[in-house]
């Protein structure tokens, strides 16, 4: 599959994301959903245990939302004329998360202006779905969802790998109204605004 960049969408603690609003936001920006989708069974740490292929009779945002509204955990691909996105809806959390991933090779072949355009697409997805923070990280392990845990009114994110090493520095987008609602290592404001989100660099202590 190659190296991929992941965007994890987190709600305010105690709130739930509206997956379908995120789906419709992508659709509104010209990303068309493709068949098949995969209905997933996840373990307690978010590791994929099994996936059942599901052909969408009419691939569309409405068809994807129908499965999500039925409580399915879902992987599905969407794309515009230039970029394909993998979307994973559902996680083992009380307030389930979703993520979008993109080939790093595809992402970095774009110039900065085009990447900024697509970042704004994802910022609209975050805003429409109710996400307050977005974690951006490259090549997370299969059990990375298990590293994200809500404790009281804050998300805790463990960036240590099973072999004792740590993930490289990542970035966080935080809703400008609330700021970061998660604990990482050391968040530094970059001064970039992506839609309604402020960007923070996450740096090892």
- In the predicted structure, residue 204 carries a pLDDT above the cut 60: no
Total number of domains constituting the chain:
1
Which pLDDT tens digit goes with each residue over 146-157? 888 888 888 888
Domain extent for 60: 4-202
Instruction: Give the strand pairing for 4-11 and 32-33.
Output: unpaired
3-state helix, strand, coil in the chain (%, to 5): 25, 40, 40
Q: Residue 141: pLDDT band by 50, 70, 90 thresholds?
A: confident
CA-closest candidate to residue 11, choices 143, 115, 135:
135
Query: pTM score, two decimals?
Result: 0.91
Tokens of 95: 């307030």
Q: Residue 93: pLDDT band by 50, 70, 90 thresholds?
A: confident
CA-closest candidate to residue 154, choices 37, 13, 2:
13
Q: How far apart are CA 5 and CA 94, in angstroms?
A: 25
């Amino acid at each position: 599959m190659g190296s991929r960049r992941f965007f994890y969408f987190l709600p305010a603690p105690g709130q739930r994301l509206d997956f379908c609003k995120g789906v419709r936001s992508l659709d509104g920006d010209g990303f068309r959903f493709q068949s098949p989708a995969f209905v997933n069974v996840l373990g307690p740490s978010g590791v994929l245990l099994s996936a059942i292929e599901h052909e969408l009779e009419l691939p569309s945002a409405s068809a994807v939302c129908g499965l999500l509204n039925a409580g399915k955990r879902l992987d599905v691909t969407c794309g515009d004329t230039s970029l394909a996105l993998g979307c994973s809806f559902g996680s083992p959390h009380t307030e389930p998360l979703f993520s979008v991933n993109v080939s790093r090779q595809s992402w970095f072949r774009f110039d900065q202006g085009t990447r900024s355009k697509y970042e704004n697409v994802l910022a609209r997805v975050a805003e429409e779905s109710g996400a307050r923070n977005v974690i951006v990280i490259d090549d997370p392990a299969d059990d990375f969802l298990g590293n994200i845990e809500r404790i009281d009114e804050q998300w805790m994110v463990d960036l240590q790998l099973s072999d004792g090493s740590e993930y490289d520095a990542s970035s966080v987008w935080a809703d400008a109204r609330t700021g970061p609602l998660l604990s990482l290592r050391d968040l530094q404001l970059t001064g970039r605004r992506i839609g309604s989100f402020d960007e923070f660099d996450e740096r090892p202590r």
